[in-house]
A and B are shown apart, each in its own frame.
Chain A
Amino acid sequence: MTTRVGVVTFPGSLDDRDAQRAVRLAGAEPVSLWHRDEDLHQVDAVVLPGGFSYGDYLRCGAISRFSPVMTTIIEQAKLGMPVLGICNGFQVLCESHLLPGALTRNDSLHFACRDQKLRIENAGTAWTRDYSAGQEIVVPLKNGEGRFVADAHVLDELEAEGRVVARYLDVNPNGSYRDIAGITNAAGNVVGLMPHPEHAVEPLTGPTTEGLGFFTSVLKQLVNA
């Protein structure tokens, strides 16, 4: 049976088609999910793609978080369904309180688009099991509000529990605390990531193909489950 991975389209989602392409290249079937639809159409996992949902007005992800589809996703995530939030999707996960912390304006005050080196810190999540801990990868990064912040207590807890999934190497592009590029929940099924692995899945269009591992990881997780 083909694994079905849902990709949500909010008003203002931009990287939804890219995420679908990445899911397809990883060998799963992408399923388009509409923000107004509570039904997840029997998907096995969900990707919340990048973009500027609702224009990122008010706060990034703040309005999308209340869409009908998120009600179901939050329920299912708590029951263990793998959910990956990329960029704006990460912001939605934080606003939904599925992940701690928040994403704020880059310290440079500029939107930044660059090929970013990362270190995978936790290769045990649903979305990173195809990597090895300590592995270095390069994927695109593009955000204006990607600076991960949380209070010291939360940061210490994330570190202590090994919930930092990826960290920026060489350059911290947005001033994220402790160079954090991505985190997971305690169960390891919900991952939020600021950089864009879905833009590094083909040699023709990406700086590398090192982003594909996020999408193959979840496939393995689901097949083995």
Chain B
Amino acid sequence: MSLDTVKNAEQTPDAAQPWAELGLKEDEYARIREILGRRPTGAELAMYSVMWSEHCSYKSSKVHLKQFGEKKPDSDAMLVGIGENAGVVDVGQGYAVTFKVESHNHPSYIEPYQGAATGIGGIVRDILAMGARPVAVMDPLRFGAADHPDTRRVLPGIVAGIGGYGNCLGLPNIGGEVVFDSCYQGNPLVNALCVGVMKHEDIHLAQASGAGNKVILYGARTGGDGIGGVSVLASETFDDTKPAKRPAVQVGDPFQEKLLIECTLEIFREKLVKGIQDLGGAGLSCATSELASAGSGGMRIDLDTVHLRDNTLSPEEILMSESQERMCAIVEPDKVARFLEICEKWDVIANVIGEVTDGERLEIFWHGELVVDVPPRTVAHEGPTYQRPYARPSWQDALQADAPTGERLARPTTGEGLKADLLKVAGHPNQASKSWITDQYDRYVLGNTVLSHGEDSGMIRIDDETNLGVSVATDGNGRYAKLDPYTGAQLALAEAYRNVAAGGAKPLAVSDCLNFGSPEDPDVMWQFAEATRGLADACLVLGTPVTGGNVSLYNQTGEVAIHPTPVVAVLGVIDDVTRRTPVAFAEEGQLLYLLGDTADELGGSAWSQVVHDHLGGLPPKVDLERERLLGDILIAASRDGMIDAAHDLSDGGLGQALVESCLKGGHGARIIVPEGTDPFVFLFSESAGRAVVAVPRSEELRFNDMCTARGLPATRIGVVDGDSIDVQGQFSVTLAELKDAHTGVIEALLA
């Protein structure tokens, strides 16, 4: 079979090409021809098609994502913003922290174990590529109904994959979420977050500059992984002695990744690289075009030097391969020998595959023939942009009008009724203990985990001497966002912000994973537009810039999209991790205060879902100034030792927060419903901007004074006491009963 070289493309301008099969639109193909002044070669077509895909180019979403830059709050903390592999934030003492949340939804549905595993692998390499040592991971997960047969297939595989890969890398898994909702049936959301730490001077960027510098590909060998799409091309140019079907699934090798991490960190320590990029989606196509595009522009690659696992691969396939555990570095010629030596020390395969040139083209050779000759910016950064039409869905008004009023949904009116609903909510898979899942993750490795699963945020120490630490919380509520995407996105941010503050850390920055249905559906596009607008507006008010993240579209089966699910991660810093605030009520006699205001807000609530299987009305209102004030109080109270426990109020409301804090601490609570408050609303409303805290008696005066002075409503609602939750005048429920309802739920469904 003849090779489709640049020369060949020039000589056969009218050869038919499978651009449609590769997912390109007619005008996109025409644009490629216009850029090149000829038809693309097969390899070029493969590169453009994958780099201009929704996944790589953000062509539907970028007009909306722009707002994160346009409305960016002033922040001294941002060292590297959107556009790099991950944002970097200054946390003081010369340390910088990088973090990012990303989706691996579709692969995890096809092959749950490997999909979830390689999701961890990818995000960890993103963090590593910034120059940081990865120090923790978290996984926000969403599945179909807990009792659906397919959840039994998908969930255990995904959890085992996350554990199998993350545990083997030696990264503590310190938090995340697990949510069940039938809207995710067939479209589970597997988001993965990684945090990395470095010194300011260690920040690395993905750019190739300096003519003559070498391009080194290192890590795993390149095989036919994840090039399913490009096999359309392959089938044209290949004989049939090769494997008929290229795998769409990539298999991860966490051991290789662990070696890659240690090897790369040693290379950073010796300052051997000028620029670095990990290989993820679109593999070498993406890495070479992005490195060249962000640098001076010129690069020459010789594909024959790529170390292959499968010698039958064509140049197109080598360029597209998504084989895991690979990185690409730009290295000055006199440092190449030492670079290769360190790779050898760690048993990591490394090859010089090309060099930076002083031209402006990315040129790729195969068997001495030029097969790619493109301006790299047109591949990596100047892909198409769509202004997708969007419109408020016709059903939105009816959904919002269906409010969960007392007339619409029967509310419990007796103490026994309240107790029964409290147990139902606490025992629903969404609110129940997730220990069956989280106990499959190593939370101890590296010895710096201060807060993890079951806490409001995950917190790690980053300096043994000074006790400087960072914390991260991820939150999202698709039910809220379905009712009102603008507010829903803001509520996700508000909750993550509150969770970080509840642990005692100061929120600094945001990463987001925006999980939505098809952008070709104007309803979905409206949800996306509203959610991004809401999130950008809220980030501006809270002073927490979006540093990066990821968009996952097409999460739908047929016409039915998932709930719009913006997942928001907030990173915070804490000067002294020994001052952290856990959620557990651990001291008898401490006073319980409810901070914030409680209104009758049950739209999208856990109660409406669990007890009535209802979704309608409006989500809780957002008051970002109040969130900021609450955060300030929680942080100050933690720093000054005024509170010993704090728990944010979110799904399930105060009732659920009390259940969790009591069970975690092994102590009950005597609770008094404040005068004039409806006991049901008191226990189950999900009004935002609230937390419950445990105050030592000796600190009560000081704590009250602070809240009064700052204008934050603080209501004394009871005391830590006994071995039951006793809501006076209403009902009493023992910790044993609560534990019975709250634990063992997930394993009963899945084990």
Contacts and interface: CB of A to CB of B under 8 A. Distances in A.
A114 B117 CA distance: 22
Contacts of B258: 11-12, 14, 52
A11 B257 CA distance: 11
Nearest to B469: A204
Interface in A1-32: 11-12, 14-15, 17-18, 21
A11 B253 CA distance: 13
B461 A205 contact: yes
A111 interface: yes
Interface string A111-145: 11110000000000000000000000000101010
A205 B444 CA distance: 8
A113 B441 contact: yes
B156 to A, nearest CB: 9
B577 interface: yes
A99 B218 CA distance: 38
Contact of A205 (B170, B255, B441, B450): B450
B750 to A, nearest CB: 11
Nearest to A109: B160
A125 B259 CA distance: 35
Contacts of A97: none
Contact of A111 (B164, B446, B448, B449): B164
B53 to A, nearest CB: 32
A51 interface: yes
B347 A113 contact: no
B85 to A, nearest CB: 24
A21 B464 contact: yes
A205 B448 contact: yes
> Which of B438, B448, B464: most chain A CB closer than 10 A?
B448
B317 to A, nearest CB: 26
A52 B255 contact: yes
A170 to B, nearest CB: 15
Given A110-B160, A198-B447, A52 B461 contact: no
B461 A111 contact: no
B168 A18 contact: no
| Candidate in B442, B443, B461 with the most chain A CB atoms within 10 angstroms | B442
B465 to A, nearest CB: 12
B439 interface: yes
Given A12-B259, A204-B461, A204-B577, A113 B254 contact: no
Interface string B568-610: 0000000001100000000000000000000000000000000
A147 interface: no
Contacts of A196: 444
Contacts of B296: none
Contacts of B347: 11
Interface residues of A, number: 30
B451 to A, nearest CB: 10
Given A57-B255, A113-B441, A11 B346 contact: yes
B578 A112 contact: no
B355 to A, nearest CB: 30
A55 interface: yes
B42 to A, nearest CB: 36
A199 interface: yes
B730 interface: no
A111 B97 CA distance: 29
B488 interface: no
Given A113-B440, A142-B442, A21 B255 contact: no
Interface in A29-87: 50-52, 54-57
B555 to A, nearest CB: 28
A15 B445 CA distance: 6
B503 interface: no
B167 interface: yes
Nearest to A51: B170
Interface centre among A18, A54, A114, A206 (most CB of B within 10 A): A18
Contacts of B444: 18, 113, 140, 142, 196, 199, 205-206
Contacts of B256: 55
B164 A204 contact: no
Given A11-B259, A12-B255, A111-B167, A205 B440 contact: no
B163 interface: yes
A204 B450 contact: yes
B168 A52 contact: yes
Contacts of B163: 110-111
Report the 5 A-B pairs with minimum CB-CB distance, sorted nearest first.
A55-B255, A14-B170, A18-B447, A199-B444, A52-B168
Interface of A: 11-12, 14-15, 17-18, 21, 50-52, 54-57, 110-114, 140, 142, 144, 196, 198-199, 201-202, 204-206
12 contacts: A11-B259, A14-B168, A15-B170, A15-B445, A17-B446, A52-B167, A54-B255, A111-B441, A113-B439, A113-B440, A113-B443, A204-B450
Given A52-B258, A112-B440, 7 more contacts: A15-B170, A51-B170, A144-B167, A199-B445, A202-B447, A204-B461, A204-B577
